[in-house]
Amino acid sequence: MCPYRYYDIMRESKDPRQLRYQMVLSVEKRGIKATARSFQTSKNTVRKWHRRWQREGYHGLEELPRRPYSSPNATPPAERRKLVALKQTYHRLGAEAIRSIEGLQRSSRTIRKIWREERVSTRARRKKYRTKQNLRAVKKEWKLFQQIDEDTKYLNDIPEYYPQMMARDLPRFQYTARDVTSGLLFLGFAQELSLTNTTLFAEYLNRELTARGADLSRTRRQTDSGAEYIGGIFAKTPSSYTTTIESVSGQTHATIPPAAYTWQADVETVHSLMEREFYEVEHIIDRPNFLAKAITYQLFFNLARPNSYKENKTPWQIVREKEPGLPQSIAMIPPVLIEDLLEMKLENPLKRGHDVSSTPSQAPHACCDRRGFLLQSTPRDVTESARQGRFRFARFLGGVQMKKAIVFAFLALSLCPAAVQGAAGYVGLYASADHSVSAWCPFGENSWARIEMWIWFKPLADGIIAAEFALEYPGNVLPSTVAYNPGISVRLGDIPAGVSAAFVDCQTDWFWFCRQTLWVTSGGSTIIRIIPHPTVIYDYVDVATCLMGYPIDSVTIMSHLWINTGPARMVPCIPPLEVVIGTESVSWGAIKSLF
């Protein structure tokens, strides 16, 4: 009898066929039972190898593969190729991050296994041997907007983004603000780094946050000591950024100590994430396309992206826990091109309407337009105002029309006492391309619906050469891509923040201004409204007519756009173009496919 068990010898053997060969020879001489006792194994094992020997000879003593003939749970080849392609796209992200962003069903372990099998480079980030102080427990207890960290980011050092930036005149700097306790992200972009831009961005955030009910009375706005925030290291008075911050009662501005880079960890983390998830990934066509993609990413970040540092909750979930009464729109404040804010401020320094260039009470000679607002009537002043770009529609018309507007601007003012209103003009939001239906039919409560919105104008008797307005979206509507009428020659701004545009030719019949794709994220009747441009202080949608001098007139709002309404309210409606099932964990990959 062999002193060692058959299975022990098999584990240590380099060629198991030799032992099995000795076993089958023993069977030929002594039989199965005696061989089983000698090799200390079962009769079935001896019988199995003897039968294989009889059928196949020495090669039959090889161990057969234990892998099943079919694997129902195996990852299909198409999905494997997709996982490899995702790793090549998000080359600096790990399996868990890509799984979260793209909403993948496979586990992180399976994804990493496939990458190893396909020999995909991981490009692991170098480890920094520095212990970071973990303050997540402290920050979790802070109140909403107790501290907002702000910083700027150079975009010209990102290899994937730099060629697009130079070729398409894309923003060179990113202005970032982030609430520390919730992680809410707010973005601005500009072509230069300056104190003026940080001041305008701070003013924009003050206005948008307070308008949505945020309490900034105890907010600390923390920045570094860069010249774009403090004005200079030898400044003796507070900078314009600081005074803008402190213009909100109770809000303060604080700077971090020199070289204390960890104090801005929350906003620096966003810069790193956006570099890997946005700038290194997205292909950008032009500036409007850049802004649309930035809006999409910010919506994904604030509404759908779970933060592993904050118990895998989204910023909006944390906001709802801390301040249940705040609207969802507080997480949907759109990114802004800061040069547009500057341009609007220069054109309307006192917010007195389109063509008021100084304080009305200081005008030596004045007349009233048909709404009763004072206008300077000195031809020299008006012409100079148009030349400086403050006569809004004159600035939009461009080329030959621009020259006409400058020459005849004073004539428009001299005609204002005799202004006669002709046939009424209208503007409306519609669900159909023929401006016949202004409502979308209901859909499921837990679904997302894709719809389209058309903006149509019915000109006045004197026609329309330019128009400006804004839109007011409810919290459950996500604006997406916009297609403008190709007949528009000059356009400033964008909806919903406020758009102003001039046409190449005078419009004398119904014309569409733009078409926008929208996603509705919840059921319930709601409405999108057309409103006056934010720079206007009265309740009119303004247009410029085609008369000499392009005098300003207004049109009547004919219809808003109703959503989730229909036969129950006796309103004609159109079914949504597409309906998808909505969930709490919507991935950025899914959102990008929608937009």
Q: What is the 3-state secondary structure (H, E, C) of 334-348?
A: CCEEHHHHHHHHHHC
How far, in Å, CA of 408 to CA of 590, rounded?
53
Confirm if 516 and 480 have CB atoms less than 8 A apart.
yes
pLDDT digits (tens, 9 = 90+) for 302-314: 988 888 888 888 9
Bridge partners (DSSP) of residue 319 are none
Give the list of residues 6+ apart from residue 66 with CB closer than 8 angstroms, or none: none
Local confidence band at 319 (pLDDT 50, 70, 90 cut-offs): very high
Give the list of residues 6+ apart from residue 412 with CB closer than 8 angstroms, or none: 548, 549, 550, 551, 552
- Residue 445's pLDDT is 61
Q: Which two tokens stand for residue 440?
A: 């979308």
Quote the strand ranges of 180-251, DSSP E. Answer: 185-190, 220-223
- The answer regarding whether domain 140-342 maps to CATH 3.30.420.10 reads yes
What is the average pLDDT across 430-458?
82
| Range scoring the smallest mean pLDDT among 133-137, 383-387, 438-442, 490-494 | 383-387
Quote the pTM value.
Answer: 0.51
What is the average pLDDT across 520-536?
81
Confirm if 413 and 382 have CB atoms less than 8 A apart.
yes
Q: Tell me, which fold does domain 426-594 have in CATH? A: Immunoglobulin-like (2.60.40)
pLDDT digits (tens, 9 = 90+) for 52-66: 889 988 888 888 887
Confirm if 574 and 431 have CB atoms less than 8 A apart.
yes
How far, in Å, CA of 75 to CA of 52, rounded?
34
Q: What is the mean pLDDT of the chain?
A: 78
Quote the strand ranges of 431-577, DSSP E. Answer: 439-440, 447-458, 464-472, 477-484, 488-494, 498-507, 511-520, 526-531, 541-544, 552-559, 561-563
Confirm if 291 and 172 have CB atoms less than 8 A apart.
no
How far, in Å, CA of 170 to CA of 190, rounded?
9
- Residue 345's pLDDT is 73
What phi-psi label fits residue 213: left (phi over 0), alpha (psi between -120 and 50 degrees) or beta? left
What is the average pLDDT across 550-564?
84
How far, in Å, CA of 144 to CA of 154, rounded?
28
How far, in Å, CA of 465 to CA of 544, rounded?
6
What is the average pLDDT across 117-143?
68
